[in-house]
A and B are shown apart, each in its own frame.
Chain A
Amino acid sequence: MLARPRPIVIVILLALLAYAIALPFFGGAFALKFAARVMITGIFVISLDLLIGVTGLVSFGHALYFGLGAYSLYFISPASAAANGFLAIPFAMLLAGIVALIVGSVVVLTKGFYFIMVTLAFGQMGFSLFFDTKIAGGTDGAYINVRPIFSIGSQQLLNFSNRTAFFYFCLAALVLSYIFLLWLVRTPFGRVLQGIKHNEARMSALGFNTYAYKLASYVIAGAMAGFAGVLFAAIDGYVAPELLGWRESGLAIMMVVLGGAGTLYGPLLGAILYSMVEETLKSSSELTAIFSLVMNGATAKWLGGIVANSWSMALGFFLIAAVLAAPKGIAGFIEKFASEAKRSKAREIKPLLETRERAKAMQLEVENLMRAFGGLVAVNGVSVKFPPNKVHGIIGPNGAGKTTFINVLSGALKPTQGSIRLESEEIGGKKPHAVARRGLGRSYQRTNVLLPFTARENCALAAQAQFPSPFRFSNKWRRNEEEQAVEDALKAAGIAPERADMKASNLSHGEQRQLEIAMLIASGAKLLLLDEPLAGMGPEETGRVTALLRELAADHTIVLIEHDMDAIFAAADTLTVLVEGKLLAHGTPEEIRNNMAVREAYLGEWGQEGKS
């Protein structure tokens, strides 16, 4: 998870800040303007990193909001007077934010490749709206004749016509934007965004409405880009449709990747590096100076002229070399050389009871449930009741519809027919996060934890799902309850304290499966659906997890699919046998063992083994 920046990063950023603060004292007008442009671009690209690097949404239409921000300064400026900055900036952010909300509500439905293309298309839609119509000068763009002034009443506080004042305003805006994002990604809200990037299905199954989170991230990033746009329009006092176009969006992605996505400071460095490389490649004299270090003057001059003449081609080659040589960008280098992050300190926690207190869990009742895929009926008219505080096993040969059954129960698939009642509430057809909110948690056949996060962070995200206030920005609220839930879950699932702060990707397979159960406990689910929790475990681990499941039944209802027959017959209170999508039998392990139909249909081989 994104942590506080490393000391080396803070040093670099402070050095850049000091340089920027000093720049107006020795830099000329051109340097100030160039630096202001880079800083505004910096705000734009870190807002894009919130989408790409933090939430995992590769938006190729982010310039739409940048351009709208820029155009809003034109819209709000009187023909030959200054706009009030106190109005212009909120107006720009509001306009960009509202458009982001409308566009976002559609684009966030899509994932991966579709998301890239759909955001690109919407960006182009915005571009053509300004390019093809006569709004704000159409193709030619429009001039903003007077720069904005910040005033309250007749009191003028700040005038953007003053280059130095404008420069410092941009610097302050960048610093505040960076600190804002740094804070945002470390709030409970931001942690969920990071979880979505790595495993959206898991986050949804934990009870997070991932659509709403992604949309919120999209709107925040859009409003920030609008903020950058309104400042950008104030540099030259000129806006053109190209500001919304796909090239601007593409260049912003370049800078994010060049700097290192998902680090926030990386894209900032990327924007600086990109602007400097572009500026150097455009200038034949600077190129000549660089080339003459390694060759004679005349050749250097000739080569410098050629490169500067086709600078965008040279830039293209530079970008290709950069992406091939440093896929993680500048930040990748910095992170590699910096020391390993210190482990977070273990906090003092209250001692836990050794045995779980009994508490009534939830009952699940399924009636005449059917799920078909086209002509194939995977679950066919199953009716069964899972009473609370028991361990219920579901068994059946491969292809019996067990996983489909669980997917319908957890909301991952809609039932074709029938009803599912959790306690007395109908949950059939509800979305996974809505089902999870009601107290039903699930695990997956393939281990499905958030690999880049530590075990503790995984559980903390799950615990966060317990207190149903989705958009939380405070780290303090409910902190103690959550930490208690995390420690309880880690301990209950048997994860050793010294392993809790290791990345999940470094845990053993068995530990990852235990972590998955720990996440379910931490999420406060009262009914656990486990899809083969024992798969791939050795006998010793199997024994440990089986004992854990029995223990958990004190305050949970457990429904699990399992192939390990010895383990499930020993652990379960009831067994449900599915064959070809139909319920073949339901009863205690003893009843199932003695059921002739089950033995014929399925258990034949095992029955003999078991007896021997």
Chain B
Amino acid sequence: MDLVLIQLLNGVQYGLLIFLAASGLTLVFGIMGVINLSHGSFYMLGAYGALTLTQFTGDIFLSLALGVPLAFLFGVIIEWLFIRHLYDRDHLQQVLLTFALILIFNEAQKLLWGSYPHSVPVPGYLQGGVKISGLLTYPYYRIAVAAFCVALALAMMFVIQKTRIGRIIRAGESNREMVEALGIDSRLLFRFVFAAGVALAATAGIVASPLESVYPGIGEPVLIISFVVVVIGGIGSIKGAFVGALLIGVADALGKVYFPAFSSSVVYALMAAVLIARPGGLFGRAA
């Protein structure tokens, strides 16, 4: 029973982390209409960036404070160099260009950090964990990550519901042409949204880096799972991404307990079930 409890806690925490990555993906597609396959690469760059920054700062949270603005800036540059050429093009060309970006980022990662796995230290003050029962403890750092993700999710909901930029984003979700008709400079909006997406993926990579080792290709499973979350939640819906990510996290955790051999298939089966029942996702417009 304790094992199930621990797995459930891990599942929720994993789901919250995936929400960060998936929310970026769903925003970029919902507002800009761009399929960004290189989204996982930004998660990877976040994790490796955390590795390097923590060597200087010594604390993952300082690295986070430094890394997120850097990631945002990086997103602005990538948008300006590559992504802005994609707005009028079809899905196929978006897939091709962002896939090519993956090749470039993976090679850059190898040149800068090599092919060996690394680890990022958990800060001293968060060593240890909460005693659950007997020998089992739940690490403080995981609790901190979960709390951080929840806080960020609430902050995002606030921004989207209550601020001007949030109103623009919501308008863009429901009708992309409308935003332009309202006289908003879509180039600036797109640049901001893409950079925010990159920052979200990198944030997930940074806070996740002390949880597991940092290795080449760390972003790829995150990309795939984010896709699954976006499909389940409905394209463009932050709320959908949140619910979808938690569902996936819990399904994955329970799958590991009850069907260890086929644990990774459980999330895909869940996705197929959602699609058959609601082809547009749980919170999406009808497909």
Name A residues whose Cβ lies closer than 8 Å to a Cβ of B.
52, 58, 60, 106, 109-114, 116-118, 120-122, 124-125, 128-129, 132-133, 246, 250, 253-254, 256-258, 261, 310, 312-313, 315-317, 319-320, 323-324, 327
Closest residue of chain A to B268, judged by CB?
Answer: A125
- Complex-state Cα separation, A58 to B220, whole angstroms: 20
A to B CB contacts below 8 Å, 24 in the list: A58-B91, A58-B95, A106-B275, A114-B275, A114-B280, A114-B281, A117-B230, A118-B231, A121-B231, A128-B264, A250-B37, A250-B99, A253-B92, A254-B100, A257-B95, A310-B111, A312-B103, A312-B106, A313-B103, A315-B100, A315-B103, A316-B102, A323-B93, A324-B97
Contact of B96 among A122, A254, A313 (CB under 8 A): A254
- Complex-state Cα separation, A113 to B231, whole angstroms: 9
- Cβ of B106: which chain A residues have Cβ within 8 Å of it? 312
- Complex-state Cα separation, A114 to B104, whole angstroms: 26
Contact of B271 among A121, A250, A324 (CB under 8 A): A121
- Cβ of B100: which chain A residues have Cβ within 8 Å of it? 254, 315-317, 319-320, 323
- Complex-state Cα separation, A125 to B95, whole angstroms: 20
Closest residue of chain B to A318, judged by CB?
Answer: B100
Q: Is B101 an interface residue (CB 8 A)?
A: yes
- Complex-state Cα separation, A298 to B230, whole angstroms: 51
The dominant DSSP class at the A interface is helix
CB distance from A110 to the nearest CB of B (A): 6
Q: Is B35 an interface residue (CB 8 A)?
A: yes
Known contacts A113-B91, A124-B268, A315-B103; is A129 also within 8 Å of B231 by CB? no
- Cβ of B231: which chain A residues have Cβ within 8 Å of it? 114, 117-118, 121
Interface residues of B in 182-223 (CB under 8 A from A): 220
- Complex-state Cα separation, A228 to B150, whole angstroms: 48
- Complex-state Cα separation, A561 to B104, whole angstroms: 56
The total number of A-B Cβ pairs within 8 Å is 120
CB distance from A514 to the nearest CB of B (A): 30
Q: Is B29 an interface residue (CB 8 A)?
A: yes
- Cβ of A254: which chain B residues have Cβ within 8 Å of it? 96, 99-100
- Cβ of B136: which chain A residues have Cβ within 8 Å of it? none
Contact of A116 among B95, B280, B281 (CB under 8 A): B95
- Cβ of B228: which chain A residues have Cβ within 8 Å of it? 117, 121
Contact of A121 among B35, B95, B227, B235 (CB under 8 A): B227
CB distance from B191 to the nearest CB of A (A): 18
Closest residue of chain B to A122, judged by CB?
Answer: B268
- Complex-state Cα separation, A273 to B269, whole angstroms: 38
- Cβ of A109: which chain B residues have Cβ within 8 Å of it? 275-276, 279
- Complex-state Cα separation, A432 to B103, whole angstroms: 44
Q: Is B261 an interface residue (CB 8 A)?
A: yes
Closest residue of chain A to B25, judged by CB?
Answer: A117
Q: Is B82 an interface residue (CB 8 A)?
A: yes
CB distance from B232 to the nearest CB of A (A): 10
- Cβ of A132: which chain B residues have Cβ within 8 Å of it? 261-264
CB distance from A548 to the nearest CB of B (A): 35
- Cβ of B89: which chain A residues have Cβ within 8 Å of it? 327
Closest residue of chain A to B265, judged by CB?
Answer: A125
- Complex-state Cα separation, A58 to B90, whole angstroms: 11
Contact of A120 among B93, B227, B265, B287 (CB under 8 A): B227
- Complex-state Cα separation, A110 to B89, whole angstroms: 21
CB distance from B271 to the nearest CB of A (A): 6
Contact A110 B101 (CB under 8 A): no
Closest residue of chain B to A134, judged by CB?
Answer: B261
- Complex-state Cα separation, A257 to B235, whole angstroms: 25
CB distance from B94 to the nearest CB of A (A): 9
